[in-house]
Structure 1
Amino acid sequence: MEQLNRRQVSKTGQYYGHGKLLLSGEYFVMDGAKALALPLNLGQGLQVRYSPSFTPRLHWKSFDVNGNLWFEAHFEFWHFECLDSTPAPEVLKLQQILREVRKINKHFLRDEVDIHVETQLDFPLNWGLGSSSSLLYVVAQWAYVSPFELLFNVEGGSGYDVACAQSNRPILYQLKGAQPSWQAVDFDPPFKDQLYFIYLGRKQNSKEAIKNYRQMGPFDRSLVAEVSSLTEQMIAAETLTEFEALIEKHQELVGTTLEMPQVKQERFFDYWGEVKSLGAWGGDFALVTSHLSHEKTKDYFMRHGCHTFIPYRQLVLVGKNQLVSADLRDKKPVDYTNITSTYIAQTAVNSTNGQLLH
């Protein structure tokens, strides 16, 4: 015990990754198309605490947006064997991530200390805003490994979501060969108050969507070039009318090429604005445009079963360092049943323990 007492360990660490939405270039971004990606005000934090121990273990707790523990796990350090009798699928996924980190950084978790990790999500798990990508990013930061190498080895995909996790403004993302490349762009449209996000009600399996896309390809390079051109035009659009025309072209191109129904034709055929699928088609969030009032637009989608309705400016980071490290232990419960424009703003404040900067 005397030896243990001499080994005082007080080191802690906090890491944060932003959530994401893919506004353009979905699917084709994996073949080199330019994509417009949006980092969000909401994301995921990871807090690490170290304590002396004769039998080092990793103790992991993950909390949802309401501060409820949604999974817990315990691992030994040698092979990251789970010490729990019947590990849940989420625990096995975490085990895969930890083992992959060890392959990249052989010195990861070699100290003779207990390690206590807590993660905290700022958004509901079923929203598809990047619970996996933000987790991979914060783990990579903690472990001193490349978040892209970790993502490509564990999940696959284009990597735009990991780029969003570390960005605080919209980005133009592109795969050049197998190398991720991105740059910040000034996408803060003057018509942003006429843009909204709606939740379509079901989380998409990104890995399955990627698999289906790969089975349909390869595609002509002219398609990739056309998607890139639409992305660049969307960034430069100065009016809502111009932006809506580009959305319509983008939806038509992707839907026709991949033989997939467009969400507006399928669910909102009588809507006066445009509806743009984000990321994998068929679920998660969509962007909608409207020249009518906030109230009339919201009422339309409420009547069509979309009860999560969020103004663009409430969700998207536009260049300010709005988020700082969260105290993961002081999470306040949130009711997402009838979310409103002001409610999502308050949620963002709560999610960082009142430390949202304006």
Structure 2
Amino acid sequence: MKKETYYSNGKLLLTGEYLVLNGAKSLAVPTKFGQDLEVISGLGKKIIWKSYDADGSIWFENEILFDDIITKKSFIENKIKNTLVEILHHAYLLNSDFIENSEGYSIDTKLTFPRLWGLGTSSTLINNLGQWLNINAFELLKNSFGGSGYDIACAQTNQSIIYHLENEKPFFEKISFNPEFKEHIYFVYLNKKQSSKSAINNYLNKQFSLDKVKTKIDKITTFVSGTNNINDFMAALDKHEILLSDVLEQLTVKESLFPDFKGTVKSLGAWGGDFAMVVSKENPLFYFNKKGYETILKYEEMIL
């Protein structure tokens, strides 16, 4: 029985959230957490699919017929299955061999981070499918789920990157992002999972000129990716938060949740949930624990 295994890194976007969709330069980092994909040949012209969370529990289990993938059958009563069928359908359009030249599969996905953390359950899956089927994961993302593609770049790169879109095409360069003050950087889970897809749609529905803001974000990204001065780093991130607050017409995460915190708190990804990056000269664990935030990872625990 043939078995194939694939792995992709999770991701965090440290600068340029939302505006990365408009071509802004963004600092993105792969995480030490990710997702495995295991494929075993099967029978029945179907896929027996199981998705495991980090604790070993099954969070999704179903059978998907090849015909459902080909026709992109809709399962309104099962949103997860519906999304998976759509991704597999677009994979089929890019390379039909896995359906036309197979009798079936048993596929397991295994996260090494809790699914609710928002480190890239979808992007790691799409990149793993790209590896398995020898198709362009950026194209598969664009056709199925949407987004800028920075998460795909992180999924397949073991280094920090500066990422941007140019004429809707992904460009990224590997950099050595290793600030001397990294022991003062923490990642706090905000106890709330955010939907990247809905956040992106809300952002795209806003009509305004972003050229000036984009230029400022480009400069901040370039600066924070290279500075080794913690005060300058914090000031630049605070400025970034103010710029995005004006664009999104939302309070910053520090204003809304941690107004008395002595340090920098920056939203990562979709505002309002998932992780925030905290930069503090003093250990912030007691502060956040007292407020009910128990998942706090040090830089070296999170970043690859």
TM-score of the superposition, structure 2-length normalised? 0.95
Quick check: 1:314 aligned with 2:301? yes
Deviation, 1:144, is 1.4
Paired position in structure 1 for 2:156: 166
Tell me the amino acid that sits aligned with residue 251 of structure 1: E
Q: Cα gap change, 1:270/1:145 in structure 2, threshold over 3 Å: closer, same or farther? A: same
Deviation, 1:257, is 2.4
Which 4+ residue blocks in structure 1 deviate beyond 3 angstroms? none
Aligned equivalents of 1:248 and 1:112: distance in 2?
A: 53
Larger Rg: 1
Tell me the amino acid that sits aligned with residue 315 of structure 1: M
Paired position in structure 1 for 2:278: 288
Quick check: 1:303 aligned with 2:302? no
| Residue aligned with 1:113, SS | coil
Quick check: 1:146 aligned with 2:140? no
Aligned equivalents of 1:209 and 1:69: distance in 2?
A: 27
Aligned equivalents of 2:248 and 2:175: distance in 1?
A: 28
Unmatched segments (≥5 aa) in structure 2? none
Aligned equivalents of 2:199 and 2:103: distance in 1?
A: 41
Deviation, 1:82, is 9.7
Answer with 205-214 or 85-94: which moved more: 85-94
Which of 203, 221, 231 is the matching residue for 1:213? Answer: 203
User: Is this contact kept in 1: 2:72–2:86, CA < 8 A?
Assistant: no
Which of 59, 67, 74 is the matching residue for 2:63? Answer: 74
User: Is this contact kept in 2: 1:33–1:174, CA < 8 A?
Assistant: yes
Aligned equivalents of 1:168 and 1:72: distance in 2?
A: 30
User: Is this contact kept in 2: 1:75–1:82, CA < 8 A?
Assistant: no
Aligned equivalents of 2:130 and 2:183: distance in 1?
A: 35
Paired position in structure 2 for 1:264: 254
Q: Cα gap change, 1:162/1:270 in structure 2, threshold over 3 Å: closer, same or farther? A: same
Residues 125-159 of structure 1: CA distance to partner in whole angstroms, max 9, x if unpaired? Answer: 11111001111111121111111111111111111
Quick check: 1:23 aligned with 2:14? yes
Q: Cα gap change, 1:273/1:101 in structure 2, threshold over 3 Å: closer, same or farther? A: same
Deviation, 1:68, is 1.2
Bigger strand share:
2
Deviation, 1:87, is 6.4
Give the number of aligned pairs.
302
Tell me the amino acid that sits aligned with residue 117 of structure 2: W
User: Is this contact kept in 1: 2:54–2:110, CA < 8 A?
Assistant: yes
Aligned equivalents of 2:221 and 2:207: distance in 1?
A: 21
| Residue aligned with 2:294, SS | coil
Residues 321-349 of structure 1: CA distance to partner in whole angstroms, max 9, x if unpaired? Answer: xxxxxxxxxxxxxxxxxxxxxxxxxxxxx
User: Is this contact kept in 1: 2:10–2:155, CA < 8 A?
Assistant: yes
Quick check: 1:110 aligned with 2:110? no
Aligned equivalents of 1:23 and 1:301: distance in 2?
A: 20
Q: Percent identity?
A: 39
Aligned equivalents of 1:86 and 1:286: distance in 2?
A: 33
Tell me the amino acid that sits aligned with residue 255 of structure 1: S
TM-score of the superposition, structure 1-length normalised? 0.81
